[in-house]
Structure 1
Amino acid sequence: MTEELGLRERKKLRTRAAISAAAIGLFLERGFDAVGVAEVARVAEVSKRTLFAYFPSKEDLVLHRFADHETDAADVVRARRPGQGALSALREAFLRGLEERSPVTGLCDEPAVLAVFRLVTGTPALVARLAAFTSAGEAALAAALAGADVPPLDSTLAAAQIAAVRRTLATANMDAVAAGVPAARRHPEAVEAAERAFHLLTSGLGFA
């Protein structure tokens, strides 16, 4: 039974990936607004009903990659070492992401990642939908920061500032890479900016 469930889950993951790949290919070729969901379903060889079972909206066909990382910051805070501060854990995770060229940090010059970045930033509907994911991630982070000795307003304000810093750092990195700067060349500057940003957060927020 366990093996059967494993096979079923892998099949679902393959189907999900195939639908998303078909959609992104069409969107990159002709533009997000010029492609309908029915065409995506046809190219992916699934029904519209199946497509919507995996992706509730057309925007999710692209942005599920962002949604999959929606609670990353909150997860880092919850998984931090005993005695380690939240900002210390988030700083370590961001620096590790830069080293690994994680798309979440913006420091990734893989052509496919750059293509999706340009698609998202150039499509108002995707920008709006991405803002919803960002807001949900910020709320999750606020919940992770909250504690018996941390007033709700403090955790909410802290989460907003941390999320803004992470987003600003990632956007600056991706803008540089999209402009033609190799990720390897950008890396030292990205690390310096991240160190500076987290130092300012630590000094101002007290979540060291």
Structure 2
Amino acid sequence: MAPVDGKPGLRERKKQRTHAAISEAAITLFLEHGFNQVSVAQVAEAAEVSKRTLFAYFPTKEDLVVHRLADHETEIARVVRARPTGVAPLTAVREHFLKGLRERDPITGLNDHPQVRRVHQMILDAPSLVARMERFKTGAERALTQALRETADVSDLTARLAAVQIVAVHWALAQDNAARLASGEPADERCAGAVTDAEHAFALLETGLRQLT
């Protein structure tokens, strides 16, 4: 029976707490010992759940990390769908990325919070996580392709090619920012250069994607 006030019921709240407990236990162990050095059994023990329960929430070990980025997989597609009438898809994505830089959104790579940087490095150090992030990127391309098909006056091929380019640029900019921060450059000092790079990258895209309206 659904709660009348619209808030999650007791069962749902318990599931949310279990999900959060497993996630926090996993990240803590991974950051302390390394992703490849920690077993799923150790995570389950730290979270005080069975392996079966853990896999019910996180089907793979990699999910224990990348689930934190799950909402971002379709983020660019959501931005395109939600853009105001008369605003080109590329303009909407550009403004969203620049806003993310100003707000130090981790997905832009411009966030030097110690844990954010450590999680980023952990992903780079684990081949299975790198591979999973490539799947994440492919999912973003697929979602954006569909959003462009439905909201922009372009062919299916143009939508797919545009999505690949937009996601690739978004990805490259974020990786460049993260790499600079990993080398010790503070986010506040990097910000102006990150904005300049983003403006340049989206200008290049605009030159080649004039068909998007």
TM-score by length of 1: 0.95
Distance between the aligned counterparts of 2:6 and 2:96, measured in 1? 35
- Residue by residue over 1:25-71, the C-alpha shift from the partner in whole angstroms, topping out at 9 and shown as x without a partner, is 11122221221111101101112122112111000101111222110
Match of 2:23 in 1: 20
Asked if 1:39 corresponds to 2:42, the answer is: yes
**Residue of structure 2 aligned with 1:107, choices 97, 107, 110:** 110
Asked if 1:132 corresponds to 2:122, the answer is: no
Q: 1:62-101 alignment to 2 at 5 Å?
A: 62-101=65-104
Asked if 1:149 corresponds to 2:142, the answer is: no
Partner SS for 2:184: coil
Distance between the aligned counterparts of 1:70 and 1:56, measured in 2? 18
Letter in 2 for 1:123: A
Choose 164-173 or 47-56, whichever is displaced more.
47-56
Distance between the aligned counterparts of 1:103 and 1:10, measured in 2? 27
**Residue of structure 1 aligned with 2:208, choices 196, 199, 204:** 204
Asked if 1:158 corresponds to 2:162, the answer is: yes
Match of 2:52 in 1: 49
Percent identity among equivalent residues? 55
Match of 1:181 in 2: 185
> 5+ unaligned residues in a row in structure 1: which ranges?
none
Partner SS for 2:157: helix
> 5+ unaligned residues in a row in structure 2: which ranges?
none
Choose 40-49 or 85-94, whichever is displaced more.
40-49
Deviation at 1:24, TM superposition (A): 1.3
Distance between the aligned counterparts of 1:154 and 1:78, measured in 2? 17
Deviation at 1:108, TM superposition (A): 0.3
Choose 142-151 or 3-12, whichever is displaced more.
3-12
Letter in 1 for 2:202: F
Aligned positions, number = 208
Structure 1 residues 53, 3: CA separation in 2 closer, same or farther (over 3 Å shift)?
farther
Deviation at 1:7, TM superposition (A): 4.0
Deviation at 1:149, TM superposition (A): 3.4
Distance between the aligned counterparts of 1:12 and 1:181, measured in 2? 40
Distance between the aligned counterparts of 1:5 and 1:54, measured in 2? 21
> Deviating runs (4+, > 4 A) in structure 1?
none
Asked if 1:6 corresponds to 2:8, the answer is: yes
Distance between the aligned counterparts of 1:176 and 1:45, measured in 2? 38
Choose 25-34 or 56-65, whichever is displaced more.
25-34
TM-score by length of 2: 0.93
Deviation at 1:13, TM superposition (A): 2.8
Structure 1 residues 176, 10: CA separation in 2 closer, same or farther (over 3 Å shift)?
farther
